[in-house]
Amino acid sequence: MEEKERLLVMKFSEGDPELKKLWTEHLDYEQKLRELEKKVHLSPEEELEKKRLQKLKLSGKDKMFEILKKYTVREN
């Protein structure tokens, strides 16, 4: 996620519980993925978990962008 988008999420998340929840999950997924990426070799279970986290992160990001559209359209 680009810095501009991060700033928008932070700006509007306090007033939007769904956006705040998605943002918190996004940060959690990022952290878990970083931990997996530190490993030299992943077990098959860890590979599956990595793919699952990547999908969840992407899905949440798409939802956040949809929510942000509401706010950015109002500002323009």
Domain that holds residue 25: 3-75
Predicted local confidence at residue 27, as pLDDT: 96
Q: Do residues 68 and 5 lie in contact, with contact meaning Cβ atoms separated by under 8 Å?
A: yes
**Domain tally, the chain:** 1
pLDDT tens-digit series, residues 3-34: 999 999 999 999 999 999 999 999 999 999 99
Ramachandran bin of 2, using left for φ above 0, alpha for ψ from -120 to 50, beta for the remaining angles: beta
pLDDT at 45 over 60: yes
Q: Six-digit token pair at 58?
A: 């992407």
3-state secondary structure 44-68: HHHHHHHHHHHHHHHHHHHHHHHHH
CA distance 61 to 42: 25
Of 2 and 45, the one with more pLDDT: 45
Predicted local confidence at residue 72, as pLDDT: 81
